[in-house]
Amino acid sequence: MIRFYNGKVLRFEPEMRLTDEEVWTDGNRIAYVGPVKEVHPAFDRQIDLRGDLLMPGFKNAHTHTAMTFLRSLGDDMELQSWLKKIVWPREAKLTDDAVYTLTKLGILEYLSSGITASFDMYVHNEAYARANVDAGFRTVICSGLNNFDADPENIEREYLHFNQYHELVSYMLGIHAEYTTSLDRMEYLASLADKYKAPCFTHICETKKEAEDCIKRYGMSVPLVLDKIGFYRYGGGGFHCCWFTEEDIRYFADHGLWAVTCPGSNLKLASGIAPVEKMRQSGINLAIGTDGASSNNALDFFREMYLVSALQKIYEEDASACPATEVLKMACVNGARAIGMKDCDDISSGKLADLVVIDLNRPNMQPHNNILSNIVYSGSKEDVRLTMVNGKILYENGEFFIGQNPDEIYSEANEFVKSLTV
Amino acid sequence: MIRFYNGKVLRFEPEMRLTDEEVWTDGNRIAYVGPVKEVHPAFDRQIDLRGDLLMPGFKNAHTHTAMTFLRSLGDDMELQSWLKKIVWPREAKLTDDAVYTLTKLGILEYLSSGITASFDMYVHNEAYARANVDAGFRTVICSGLNNFDADPENIEREYLHFNQYHELVSYMLGIHAEYTTSLDRMEYLASLADKYKAPCFTHICETKKEAEDCIKRYGMSVPLVLDKIGFYRYGGGGFHCCWFTEEDIRYFADHGLWAVTCPGSNLKLASGIAPVEKMRQSGINLAIGTDGASSNNALDFFREMYLVSALQKIYEEDASACPATEVLKMACVNGARAIGMKDCDDISSGKLADLVVIDLNRPNMQPHNNILSNIVYSGSKEDVRLTMVNGKILYENGEFFIGQNPDEIYSEANEFVKSLTV
């Protein structure tokens, strides 16, 4: 059992608030949240928060973790030539071993940013899942069906396999995107959703061209095409949503779908700014994703949270758009619920122990006019003192505890990159 | 003497490059940059870079350091009501002691972000200068003449006083802004510029309203009004420049003026996105500023550098806009030259030792596809291993060495904030 005491606790239910409570974890769960107790069990460790903040970890609701190998390769290039010259030729050379190492590299970065879970869509899922389990990190794999998959039915096998694989891993249904997936393949995925009563996800309206091409192809927007084939019968959502029309927003809101915004990637690739504030005002459930390191290029939730809010202020020409508390809800609570992790969404007794300690005694977190605003508007990875996933401390005071020396991971990642003579 | 060895060095002149050289400092200057020498003097300390990067520090070319006390106060508010309800009533209660402490708080934050110099415009300059000297930080004070100054001639006294005050401090001429300064006061400042053959600075075209109001008032844009009164006879520049017209851009380019972009503050206050790429293409000298913590809310050059580039990509709808190397030049080199620190702009023998060590062995800096892109697109304060100003190490491995315990500074800052019963 681990005890966190002498600090502040950020809780979300039944209402968002900062408390002076103490928190105990037992195994992978939170065992107690409440006032300081005189009598308590023997703890394995007692962590003095020294006035710092204990909060639920950030959930990275859209990413391609192993794309770390493409970080800073072909920056400042136009999208299509970047994909053709840089990304695709290198991705074709990925191996299980490479994905294992590159995933661990991404997990290190998540932990250093207070991220405790990811929703990942990529390739070599077996190696990916193993890397997460070995590192002790929590993830949901999302299938990314598209026209290049040799065997679409593998998705059903993966769905069954990874949903009973390990407590840290689960699997959800998805297609890569409308523009990369034929109608019959999208319909096939919708039939799986029907069979398993499962929510479905996809990249959606990321670029203007993608949104326009779909209308040319089907005479309607991507969300409405997906609706027509029953893709969203059991819920789910989409990543990016930059080019949602008012009708698309209404559709997502009416159907309780999740919009995962990825502002860093959308800026870097010049894709657009998603209408996050409009979606929020319309009642859409919002979560946040970093997207891959190839296009972001960081996997840093402080940057994403800041961008979610700051970009809406300029987009809406209104400094009051998308306030900090709403962004924190998206990052900590909604991200968990979007990807089916209802037990990772708050700090309360019985919930899973996916927690972060934020150092409030750093210059960028001072003075304490408003601690929650500080996190969103001036917070940085520098402030992450500790990251715990499933009851285990995987990061503390700059050091990683994922069962492998980070230097070994860096070295393997660099060797793989060097081997890519494209 | 201090020796940095076994790492990489980022040099800018005669061309930007990474070398494997070693660097010696002697007192406040760089004494040697070159290949490893067999015979060398007795060093006070030898710092093994372990493959990390030594580079010139970042220069924060527009800020209001002591505004740290307003961080996270009245976020998400509309500009005018924020100024009237939050900022002005509190600023009226600033004292010398408060500015001294709040300045030190800002300096701590600069150091943790690899910033080694600032160009500051605010109030209580004597206390401000003392805080910088006591902390060992380098700064240029910019006067901010406006209609509320009781005694405009104080600027000339300050100009003479602070330009012979201490090697870490100098003083340049400026007005707050055209919209806060009457024509005769602007003309008075231009006469001082003439007398001392000195460059002049000002907030300029930060908001659309400001740019439009000037045209209503004078029938021409702010840069052209300033030109007319000889404000820029000896050079200088402006902060923000969000609403520059093509004519304004041409004027700044033709006259070799500096445009200091502050993207974080411009987003947060919904002021606009400056046409940085257009200005760059037109040959304008560009530097970067954080603005104050009240409006940013961080004083973090990693965030600013990222924003300078990423916002131009979306603004120009072109992923190739404003590449990383150009942003690094703005941050390290141009920032120094803009504010008259020609000896802080590079790592070479005889230059001032204002240096930063960036940890390249962190997950967000791996793999090493492109180290310079990594700094701009995925770098974070987490990566700052050491910050040296004027030959002294003021920050290393998360710890500060500015002659005062940071906890004392935090405590004093919080007490001042609590005393503000507005």
Question: How far is Cα B416 from Cα A351, in angstroms, rounded to an integer?
Answer: 39
What was the pLDDT predicted at A81? Answer: 81
User: Which residue among A318, A320, A366 places its CB closest to the CB of B105?
Assistant: A366
**AA identity, residue B313:** K
Question: How far is Cα B153 from Cα B134, in angstroms, rounded to an integer?
Answer: 27
For A208, which residue in chain B has the nearest alpha carbon?
B317
What was the pLDDT predicted at B114? Answer: 98
B72·A374 Cβ contact <8 A: yes
Closest-CA distance of chain A to residue B264, Å:
8
For A273, which residue in chain B has the nearest alpha carbon?
B314
Q: Poorest-confidence range of B36-45, B58-67, B370-379? A: B36-45
Q: Is residue A399 within 8 angstroms of chain B, CB to CB? A: no
Q: Which of B68, B240, B296, B378 is the best mutation test for A, with the most CBs of A within 10 A?
A: B378
In terms of C-beta density within 10 A (0-12 exposed, 13-18 middle, 19 or more buried), how is residue A10 classed?
Answer: buried
User: What pairing do the DSSP bridges indicate for beta strands A22-26 and A2-5?
Assistant: antiparallel
What was the pLDDT predicted at B205? Answer: 97
CB atoms within 10 A of CB A251: 19
Question: How far is Cα B377 from Cα B307, in angstroms, rounded to an integer?
Answer: 9
Half-sphere exposure for A86 (CA within 13 Å, toward CB): 19
A72·B407 Cβ contact <8 A: no
Contact criterion met (CB below 8 Å) for A225 and A178: yes
What was the pLDDT predicted at A80? Answer: 75
Q: Is residue A269 within 8 angstroms of chain B, CB to CB? A: yes
Cross-strand bridge partners of residue A357:
A54, A386
**AA identity, residue A13:** E
Share of chain B above pLDDT 90, in %: 93
Token pair recorded at residue A285? 């459930």
**What does the pLDDT look like over B326-366, one tens digit per residue?**
999 999 999 999 999 999 999 999 999 999 999 999 999 99
User: Which residue among A68, A75, A364 places its CB closest to the CB of B109?
Assistant: A364
Buried b / exposed e across A407-421, counting CB within 10 Å, b at 16+?
eebbebbbebbeebe
For residue B8, give the nearest of B376, B358, B374, B385 by alpha carbon. B358
Token pair recorded at residue B388? 């040296």
Question: How far is Cα B68 from Cα A347, in angstroms, rounded to an integer?
Answer: 31
For B377, which residue in chain A has the nearest alpha carbon?
A297
Is pLDDT of B83 > 90? no
Contact criterion met (CB below 8 Å) for A79 and A268: no
Q: Is residue A72 within 8 angstroms of chain B, CB to CB? A: yes
For residue B59, give the nearest of B110, B93, B15, B4 by alpha carbon. B110
H or E stretch at B133: helix B125-135
Half-sphere exposure for B409 (CA within 13 Å, toward CB): 29
Residues 6+ apart with CB under 8 A from B399: none
Beta strands in A318-360 (DSSP E): 355-358
Closest-CA distance of chain A to residue B167, Å:
26
What was the pLDDT predicted at B422? Answer: 63
What was the pLDDT predicted at A422? Answer: 63
B414·A269 Cβ contact <8 A: no
Long-range CB pairs of B14-18, under 8 A, 24+ apart, other chains included:
B16/B325, B16/B328, B16/B329, B18/B53, B18/B371, B18/B372
Question: How far is Cα B304 from Cα B308, in angstroms, rounded to an integer?
Answer: 6
Q: Is residue B83 within 8 angstroms of chain A, CB to CB? A: no
User: Which residue among A73, A319, A374 places its CB closest to the CB of B77?
Assistant: A319
User: Which residue among A369, A371, A407 places its CB closest to the CB of B73?
Assistant: A369
Q: Which residue has the tokens 């020609």?
A: B342
pLDDT higher at B319 or A413: A413
H or E stretch at A175: strand A169-177
Q: Which residue has the tokens 């608030």?
A: A17
Buried b / exposed e across B330-352, counting CB within 10 Å, b at 16+?
bbbbbbbbbbbbeebbbbbeebb
User: What pairing do the DSSP bridges indicate for beta strands A200-204 and A169-177?
Assistant: parallel
Instruction: Residue window 365-384, chain B: list those with CB within 8 Å of chain A.
Output: 366-371, 373-374, 377-382
- What predicted TM-score, i.e. pTM, was given to this entire model? 0.97
Q: Does domain B58-343 have CATH number 3.20.20.140?
A: yes
Q: Is residue A69 within 8 angstroms of chain B, CB to CB? A: yes
Q: Is residue B310 within 8 angstroms of chain A, CB to CB? A: yes
**What does the pLDDT look like over B149-199, one tens digit per residue?**
999 999 999 999 999 999 999 999 999 999 999 999 999 999 999 999 999
Q: Is residue B269 within 8 angstroms of chain A, CB to CB? A: yes
Token pair recorded at residue A98? 């490479």
H or E stretch at A187: helix A183-196
For A109, which residue in chain B has the nearest alpha carbon?
B363
Helix boundaries (H) for B145-241: 154-162, 183-196, 208-218, 222-228
For B316, which residue in chain A has the nearest alpha carbon?
A270
Instruction: Residue window 91-110, chain B: list those with CB within 8 Å of chain A.
Output: 105-106, 108-109
Pick the CATH number of B2-56+347-400 from 3.40.920.10, 1.10.1030.10, 2.30.40.10, 3.40.640.10: 2.30.40.10
Show residues of chain B in contact with A274, CB under 8 Å. Answer: none
User: Which residue among B105, B317, B373 places its CB closest to the CB of A363?
Assistant: B105
**Quick one: residue B318, left, alpha or beta (phi over 0 = left, psi -120 to 50 = alpha)?**
beta
A366·B298 Cβ contact <8 A: no
Q: Is residue A180 within 8 angstroms of chain B, CB to CB? A: no
A364·B300 Cβ contact <8 A: yes
Q: Which of A104, A307, A382, A415 is the best mutation test for B, with the most CBs of B within 10 A?
A: A382
B270·A298 Cβ contact <8 A: no
B78·A417 Cβ contact <8 A: no
Question: How far is Cα A393 from Cα A353, in angstroms, rounded to an integer?
Answer: 10
Residue ranges per structural domain of chain B? 2-56+347-400, 58-343
B297·A112 Cβ contact <8 A: no
Instruction: Residue window 234-263, chain A: list those with CB within 8 Å of chain B.
Output: none
- Per-residue pLDDT in tens (0 to 9) along chain A, 422 residues: 999 999 999 999 999 999 999 999 999 999 999 999 888 889 999 999 999 999 999 999 999 999 999 999 988 787 778 888 999 899 999 999 999 999 999 999 999 999 999 999 999 999 999 999 999 999 999 999 999 999 999 999 999 999 999 999 999 999 999 999 999 999 999 999 999 999 999 999 999 999 999 999 999 999 999 999 999 999 999 999 999 999 999 999 999 999 999 999 999 999 999 999 999 999 999 999 999 999 999 999 999 999 999 999 999 999 889 999 999 999 999 999 999 999 999 999 999 999 999 999 999 999 999 999 999 999 999 999 999 999 999 999 999 999 999 999 999 999 999 998 76
Cross-strand bridge partners of residue A4:
A23, A47
**What does the pLDDT look like over B373-422, one tens digit per residue?**
999 999 999 999 999 999 999 999 999 999 999 999 999 999 999 998 76
B319·A272 Cβ contact <8 A: no
Helices A154-162, A183-196: crossing angle, 10 deg rounding = 30
Q: What is the DSSP letter of B55?
A: E
B414·A368 Cβ contact <8 A: yes
Q: Is residue A410 within 8 angstroms of chain B, CB to CB? A: yes
Closest-CA distance of chain B to residue A368, Å:
7
Closest-CA distance of chain B to residue A204, Å:
18
Contact criterion met (CB below 8 Å) for B107 and B132: yes
Q: What is the DSSP letter of A402?
A: S
For residue A118, give the nearest of A58, A72, A35, A54 by alpha carbon. A58
B269·A319 Cβ contact <8 A: yes
Q: Which of B67, B380, B412, B420 is the best mutation test for A, with the most CBs of A within 10 A?
A: B380
Q: Looking at domain A58-340, which CATH architecture does it have? A: Alpha-Beta Barrel (3.20)
Is pLDDT of B79 > 80? no
Q: Does domain A2-56+344-400 have CATH number 3.40.50.1100?
A: no
For residue A190, give the nearest of A179, A199, A181, A182 by alpha carbon. A199
Residues 6+ apart with CB under 8 A from B153: none
* ipTM above 0.85 for this complex: yes
A78·B314 Cβ contact <8 A: no
What is the pLDDT of chain B when averaged over all its residues? 96
A370·B272 Cβ contact <8 A: no
Closest-CA distance of chain B to residue A330, Å:
17
Is pLDDT of B76 > 90? no
Q: Is residue A320 within 8 angstroms of chain B, CB to CB? A: yes
For chains A and B, what is the number of CB pairs under 8 angstroms? 231
Q: Which residue has the tokens 């070295």?
A: A411
B410·A299 Cβ contact <8 A: no
Show residues of chain A in contact with B382, CB under 8 Å. Answer: 112, 380-382, 398
Share of chain B above pLDDT 70, in %: 100
CA dihedral B113, B117, B122, B123 (to 10 degrees): 110
